[in-house]
Amino acid sequence: MALGEIGISYNDFYALTPRSFTNIINGFRNKQYTESKERWEQIRYLFYASLKPHLKGNPTLRSLMPLPWDNETDDPEANETKIETPEQAAAIIKRQEEFWAAIDIKRQLKKSKSKTDFDGISTD
């Protein structure tokens, strides 16, 4: 993929760190996704323009041909929980504490079942 589709040279590919390569792959995939969305938007517009003279009423582009990303928002705060009272904040903190306590218990159980210490040295 790196040498073919993305077009990275052989020497540049081997000079990349795993993190750099992952960033390049993610950027390439985002570019492909954006191009695909643009093509589908063009198809939707052509579909709408060809049907519009034959339709009654005034339907919208999105109502005639909904696409998966129509409901996506670019606003990062859209999915955040709004905390309005101290009780809500306390409830969220309590849920987080319970979540992490459960993870700590699982780690302790896993550690107690293991016959090695943290450094991988056997305790037998």
How far apart are alpha carbons 45 and 61 in whole angstroms? Answer: 7
User: Over 90: is that where the pLDDT of 124 sits?
Assistant: no
Domain parsing of the chain, residue ranges: 1-71, 82-124
- Distant-in-sequence, close-in-space partners of 37: CB < 8 Å, separation ≥ 6: 67, 69
Task: Tell me the per-residue pLDDT of 24-45, one tens digit each, with 9 for 90 and over.
Answer: 899 999 999 999 999 999 999 9
Q: Of the candidates 34, 33, 62, which has an alpha carbon nearest to the alpha carbon of residue 48?
A: 62
Range name among 5-9, 48-52, 64-68 with the lowest pLDDT average: 5-9
DSSP-assigned letter for residue 75: -
pTM of the prediction? 0.52
List Cα–Cα distances, 13 to 8, 30, 91, 100, in angstroms: 6, 20, 49, 40
Q: Tell me, what's the pLDDT at 31?
A: 94
Q: Tell me, what's the pLDDT at 118?
A: 55
